[in-house]
Amino acid sequence: MRARMLTFTRQDSPVHSLSGAAKLICFIVWSLSAMITYDTRCLIVMLLVSLAVFRISKVKFADYAFVLYFILIFFLLNHLAIFLFSPLEGTQVYGTRHDLFHLGGRYTVTAEQVFYQFNIALKYAVVIPMALLFLLATDPSEFAASLNRIGVNYKIAYSVSLALRYIPDIQRDYENISFSAQARGIDLSRREKLSQRLKNIVSILLPLILSSIERIEKISTAMELRGFGSGRKRTWYTGRPFSLSDYIAMGLLLSLAAATLIVTFYDGSRFYSIF
C-alpha cells in the first residue's frame, strides 16, 4: 500500500489549469466570505457552487478520503463543544426562544440553537472542500510562487512549498523505517498494550527525525550552492501571468463574495433568522 495523502496530482481540468496565484486569491476570498456570513441562503448557494467546482476538478475521492474523515471527527467534536459550553448561543444570537426538549441541568435544546449550529455546519461544508481542492489541485512550487506574488517573502513561500513537496518522501522513509522496526520485533499493531505501543512508536520516530534532518541538511546545502537566498527578489519559472480564465474565475468569485456580503448585511445583521 502506497500511502498518498493530500499530494498534488497533475490532471487536466479547468481548476488545475488556473494559475496558482489566481487559485490562492479565489480561495482566500471564498473563505473570508464564508466566515463572515451566517446567512443560510448564501451558504447554501455557496455549498452548491463548491460541490459543482469539485465535480469539475476531477479530483478522486481516495486522494482525500482519509483527511476528510479526520476533519469530520473534529467537526463533530467542535459541535459537541459548542453545545456543551454554550447551549443557548442560538437564543442570544436570534433573540427568540423556542424550546424543543429539555436534557437536564442547563441543557435545553432550542430551535435557535439547532439552526445556529446548522449554519456553522454549513460554513464548514463550504470552506473544507475548497481547502482540500486547493491543496490537491495546486502544484506546490506554483503555490510558493503564488504566495510570493501576493506579498509573502519568497524564503517563507519556498519553505512552505518544500514542506509540501517532501511529504511523499517522508512517507516513504516512514514506511521503510517501520518495516525494519517490525522485523526487529517492534509491534505497532493493536495486539500490543497502549503504553508499550507508544514507546514503540517513539523508537520509530527517532530514526525518522534523524533521516529528515539529513534530508534537510542535504537540500539546504544544495539550495545555497545554487544561490538561494542571495537576493531580495527572485523570479519564478513556473509563475505564469494571469490568463483570461484566471480573470474570469477571480471575477466570478469576487462578484459572488460581493453578493454574499450585500445579502448578508442588507438587514443590518450578520445572522439570517427564520424566527
Tell me whether residue 118 or residue 236 sits nearer to another protein (CB atom): 236
Query: Is residue 250 a contact partner of residue 21, using CB atoms and an 8 Å limit?
Result: no
**Beta strands at 107-110 and 99-104: parallel, antiparallel or unpaired:** antiparallel
Secondary structure letter of residue 38 according to DSSP: B
Q: How far is the CB of 179 from another protein (least distance, A)?
A: 4
Helices 20-36 and 40-57, interaxial angle, to 10°? 160
**3-class secondary structure, 271:** strand
Tell me whether residue 105 or residue 189 sits nearer to another protein (CB atom): 189
Pick the stretch among 31-39, 90-98, 120-128, 216-224 that binds another protein (CB under 8 A): 216-224
Residue with cell 518544500: 162
Distance of CA 219 to the CA centre of its chain: 27
Pick from 104, 105, 151, 231: which binds another protein (CB under 8 A)?
A: 231
Asked if 211 is part of the footprint of another protein (rule: CB under 8 A), the reply reads yes
Pick from 88, 121, 131, 186: which binds another protein (CB under 8 A)?
A: 186
Asked if 227 is part of the footprint of another protein (rule: CB under 8 A), the reply reads yes
Q: How far is the CB of 222 from another protein (least distance, A)?
A: 4
Dist CA 30 CA 46 (whole Å):
9
Q: How far is the CB of 224 from another protein (least distance, A)?
A: 5
Pick from 221, 243, 245, 255: which binds another protein (CB under 8 A)?
A: 221
Question: For the chain, how many residues are written?
Answer: 275
Pick the stretch among 25-33, 39-47, 204-212, 257-265 that binds another protein (CB under 8 A): 204-212
- For 223, the grid coordinates are 539550495
Asked if 224 is part of the footprint of another protein (rule: CB under 8 A), the reply reads yes
Residue with cell 503555490: 143
Q: How far is the CB of 165 from another protein (least distance, A)?
A: 7
Helices (H), the chain: 14-17, 20-36, 40-57, 61-85, 89-94, 111-137, 140-149, 154-183, 194-225, 244-265
Pick the stretch among 26-34, 200-208, 242-250, 257-265 that binds another protein (CB under 8 A): 200-208
Pick the stretch among 60-68, 82-90, 98-106, 207-215 that binds another protein (CB under 8 A): 207-215
Binding mask 108-147 for another protein (x = CB under 8 A): -------------------------------xxx------
**3-class secondary structure, 10:** coil
Query: Total residues contacting another protein (rule CB under 8 A)?
Result: 47
Query: Is residue 90 a contact partner of residue 271, using CB atoms and an 8 Å limit?
Result: no
Closest alpha carbon to 46 in 111, 103, 128: 128
Site residues for another protein per CB under 8 A = 2, 10, 139-141, 162, 165, 173, 176-177, 179-187, 203-204, 206-207, 210-211, 214-215, 218-219, 221-231, 233-239
